[in-house]
């Protein structure tokens, strides 16, 4: 098995807080470094892609959903020391569900539509760092 070469600079990524009927979509990562953690769908921005193009592509690839992007809700930086992860700058957007039902790819193994105000009571779910703040900010953009 070849050695994994870690990038020597931060990677740009996007995520979407997708709202439908007052609930937000959480997905559980099936792979390291965040395996087993619930988060928002998203991924890396490819060279030449706009943030919105990358977000729509990543959401469609991971969940099969069509979304309407509302706006930038928050950003988060993940440093290499965090659970062996690389260095990422994640731009998180608020979005509305438009069409289709979730159909997860192999990067994810579960999804849940959850009311944002119920997040605090979900102690049994492992959430990625800063997730509640991102969802709160996105909810304000959506008008919740």
Query: Token pair 């809700």 is at which residue?
Result: 73
pLDDT digits (tens, 9 = 90+) for 88-144: 899 999 999 999 999 999 999 999 999 998 887 777 889 988 999 999 999 999 998
Q: For residue 78, tell me if it sits in a domain.
A: yes
Number of domains in the chain: 1
Q: Are 20 and 101 in contact (CB under 8 A)?
A: no
Q: For residue 6, tell me if it sits in a domain.
A: no
**CATH number for the domain that contains residue 110:** 3.90.79.10
Q: Are 17 and 47 in contact (CB under 8 A)?
A: no
Q: Using 50, 70 and 90 to split pLDDT, how confident is the model at 83?
A: low
pLDDT digits (tens, 9 = 90+) for 18-64: 999 999 999 999 988 788 999 999 999 999 999 999 999 999 999 99
Give me the domain span that covers residue 110. Answer: 11-142
Q: Are 75 and 92 in contact (CB under 8 A)?
A: yes
Give DSSP secondary structure letters for 24-87: EEEEEE-STTSTT-EE-SEEEPPTT--HHHHHHHHHHHHH--EEEEEEEEEEEEE-TTSTT---
């Amino acid at each position: 098995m070849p050695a994994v070469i870690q990038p020597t600079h931060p990677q740009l990524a996007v995520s979407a807080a997708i709202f439908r009927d007052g609930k937000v979509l959480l997905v559980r990562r099936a792979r390291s470094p965040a395996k087993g953690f619930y988060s928002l769908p998203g991924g890396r921005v490819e060279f030449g892609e706009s943030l919105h193009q990358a977000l729509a592509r990543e959401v469609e690839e991971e969940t099969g959903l069509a979304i309407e992007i509302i706006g930038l809700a928050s950003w988060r930086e993940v440093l290499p020391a965090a659970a062996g992860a690389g260095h990422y700058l994640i731009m998180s957007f608020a979005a509305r569900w438009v069409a289709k039902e979730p159909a997860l790819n192999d990067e994810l193994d579960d999804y849940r539509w959850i009311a944002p105000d119920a997040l605090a009571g979900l102690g049994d779910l492992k959430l990625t760092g800063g997730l509640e703040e991102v969802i709160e900010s996105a909810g304000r953009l959506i008008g919740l």
